[in-house]
Amino acid sequence: MDKENIIEVKDLCVDYKMKHFTIRAVNHVDFNVKKGKITALVGESGSGKTTLATALFNCLSSPGEITNGQVLFNQADGKELDVAKLNENELKRFRWKHISMVFQGAQSALNPVMTIFDQFLETLVVHDAVKNRNEAEKISRHYLEFVNLDADRIMGSYPHELSGGMKQRVMIAFALLMQPELILLDEPTTALDVITQQYIFELLKKINNELNISMLLMTHDISIVAKYADYVGVMYGGHIMEFGDVYKVFSGNYHPYTSGLIHATPSLVKPLNELKAIGGNPPDLLQMPKGCPFNPRCPKAMDICKEKEPAFINLEDGEGVKCWLFDKRGIR
């Protein structure tokens, strides 16, 4: 395992096994998250971003399960863990101490009948992170103030007494409680206004810079990725179609799906009539198209795209692309 990576995902598959059929939500995915960097996963709803994120700390909703591959985690002490092979007790020690998550929709993630401090205290006690209530209060106060909240007010409040932006900052403080090495962020600004979204992302960038915590951001907002992420993976139908340095992916010879996402994103300098939506609909995971999963919607699809699925071509510096338009050297 490369010591520059905090997580390496190798040939990962996640299946949801139903009574009469199986849905493959993550399909033979390979990618890395570098230490101290912000990596983003972008794609339309249903592309597999959240499933992939929850698989990284083996917290899949039933009946989801990891059916193939590895999720290798590089701890600060140099010890390498295969997350998919950890038992329940090992997962309990691993989660929140090494990897935590800010879930989509803070209102749904917080317990409505417990004060914020009681929820912090419960988490710290369950993970044996504190010896007494005073220690838990000190830690909680520190991280609430770090995310620019009034700790005295917030700790005694219930979730319904807080605004959306305040609840989201509470969830970020929650994720920081046990000083993890990696934080997963699933659409962390859903349902927030534009000003609050900007504030939240500036706060996340501050955490990344000052605490050197690695981050994996799941979003469909290309503009946010371009501004705050260091690396980006583009997901479609459970596949990673492209991965690499943000600048190179967005300015270079990108995948047709990446190009479609970029041209469908509003710009401050281009007229709205230049926006171009991606034709068609995301694939039905029960009836995936033959060949490349994007071929029914791809404006550059060739005959081979409709018959044979392209391999993921690994390029330099951990970059890669899954497309028949590129040869083994990554040349289009």
User: 26 lies in a domain?
Assistant: yes
User: 61 lies in a domain?
Assistant: yes
Largest Cα span, the chain: 67
User: 329 lies in a domain?
Assistant: no
Lowest mean pLDDT among 34-43, 279-288, 316-325: 316-325
* Number of compact structural domains in the chain: 2
Predicted local confidence at residue 149, as pLDDT: 94
Lowest mean pLDDT among 55-59, 177-181, 312-316: 312-316
Burial class (CB in 10 A: 0-12, 13-18, 19+), 163: exposed
User: 284 lies in a domain?
Assistant: yes
**Residues in CB range of 313: below 8 A, 6 or more apart:** 320, 321, 322, 326, 327, 328, 330
Count CA atoms within 13 Å of residue 84 on its CB side.
Answer: 20
User: 103 lies in a domain?
Assistant: no
Sole residue written with tokens 């997963």:
184
What CATH number has the domain bearing residue 71?
3.40.50.300
Q: Are residues 200 and 276 in the same domain?
A: yes
- 132, 160, 179: which is the final residue of a domain? 179
Predicted local confidence at residue 239, as pLDDT: 96
Q: Are residues 174 and 218 in the same domain?
A: no
Q: Are residues 116 and 154 in the same domain?
A: yes
User: 238 lies in a domain?
Assistant: yes
Residues above pLDDT 70, as percent of the chain: 94
Predicted local confidence at residue 327, as pLDDT: 67
Q: What is the pLDDT of residues 165-184, one digit of tens each?
A: 899 999 999 999 999 999 99
CA distance 291 to 217: 29
Average pLDDT over the chain, rounded to whole? 90
- 121, 156, 179: which is the final residue of a domain? 179
Residue 10 reports pLDDT greater than 70: yes
Q: Are residues 125 and 223 in the same domain?
A: no
Predicted local confidence at residue 266, as pLDDT: 75
Q: Are residues 86 and 230 in the same domain?
A: yes
Q: Are residues 293 and 202 in the same domain?
A: yes
Q: Are residues 119 and 71 in the same domain?
A: no
Predicted local confidence at residue 134, as pLDDT: 94
Q: Coil, helix or strand for 185?
A: strand
Q: Which domain holds residue 257?
A: 5-98+180-321
Q: Are residues 116 and 13 in the same domain?
A: no
Predicted local confidence at residue 254, as pLDDT: 74
Q: What is the pLDDT of residues 243-283, one digit of tens each?
A: 999 998 988 767 999 999 988 887 655 666 777 889 899 99
Predicted local confidence at residue 132, as pLDDT: 92
Predicted local confidence at residue 330, as pLDDT: 52
Q: Are residues 304 and 248 in the same domain?
A: yes
Confidence of residue 332 (pLDDT cuts 50, 70, 90): low
Q: Are residues 184 and 283 in the same domain?
A: yes
- 179, 197, 222: which is the final residue of a domain? 179
User: 281 lies in a domain?
Assistant: yes
CA distance 141 to 137: 6
Q: Are residues 126 and 198 in the same domain?
A: no
CA distance 105 to 323: 34
Burial class (CB in 10 A: 0-12, 13-18, 19+), 251: exposed
Q: Are residues 188 and 308 in the same domain?
A: yes
Count CA atoms within 13 Å of residue 245 on its CB side.
Answer: 8
Contact 30, 10 (CB under 8 A): yes
User: 53 lies in a domain?
Assistant: yes
Q: What is the pLDDT of residues 98-132, one digit of tens each?
A: 999 998 876 778 999 999 999 999 999 988 888 89
